[in-house]
Chains A and B, each alone.
Chain A
């Protein structure tokens, strides 16, 4: 299995621009998580999908952030408009909810907003 795939790996953009991060979970997994990692706050859960349905988006910082999962093999996290404080590493993870629920992480997208 290829594992969780994320793209792009690095993104540099200017304040005010729209940013879209992409994730392909492991085939057969029915849970998908978006996390953000910063030095100050560590790893924070942004949103959780189960069977393509958003279950908990309480971690999404504000309305500038949105996430979708149109099918079991694809998810996006969008920031519009982006701000310098959004600079962080964004991880996608997937798991099989009805199993041991071991989460597997993608390589992350390092976002820099200038």
Chain B
């Protein structure tokens, strides 16, 4: 059974700092990995999707990397801003015919202090 772990559970940083959020998974036979952002009381917003054949994806100040062999992904946020404060979740989809289910981590709650 795929398990996804995100460490730390919470992180507080001053504005302007670069930071890294970590995600690890137990089964390396993944189809893709998706990073989401969740604001309090809101739904999940998809940030980046990395296919298993890719090493990284970038969107603005966000960069996500994937190392399948070690079962790890990182989300790098450059020049953090208070508006980046949210919970960040990673989710993996296993490879294989008919595979569709996303397995989620519990998330990292990020607070960017002005």
Query: Hey, what's the 0/1 contact readout for B64-108 against A, CB within 8 Å counting as 1?
Result: 000000000000000000000000010101000010111011110
Tell me, yes or no, whether A50 is within 8 Å of chain B by CB. yes
Docked-complex contact A104 and B42, CB < 8 angstroms: no
Docked-complex contact B43 and A106, CB < 8 angstroms: yes
- Neighbouring A residues of B32 by C-beta, 8 Å: 100-101
Q: A42-B106, A101-B32, A101-B93 are in contact. Are A55 and B100 (CB under 8 A)?
A: yes
B33 nearest CB across to chain A (Å): 11
Tell me, yes or no, whether B51 is within 8 Å of chain A by CB. yes
B32 nearest CB across to chain A (Å): 7
Docked-complex contact B49 and A91, CB < 8 angstroms: no
Q: A101-B31, A101-B93 are in contact. Are A43 and B104 (CB under 8 A)?
A: yes
Bound: A56/B98 CA distance, A: 11
Interface of A with B (CB < 8 Å)?
4, 31, 33, 42-43, 45, 48, 50, 55-56, 91, 93, 97, 100-108, 110
| Interface CB pairs A-B, < 8 A, 8 | A56-B101, A100-B32, A101-B93, A101-B100, A102-B34, A103-B46, A105-B44, A105-B46
- Neighbouring A residues of B49 by C-beta, 8 Å: 100, 102
B45 nearest CB across to chain A (Å): 8
Given contacts A43-B89, A106-B43, 11 further A-B contacts (CB under 8 A): A4-B43, A42-B104, A42-B107, A56-B100, A56-B101, A100-B51, A101-B32, A102-B49, A103-B91, A105-B44, A105-B46
Identify A50's interface contact among B36, B100, B105, B106, CB under 8 A. Answer: B100
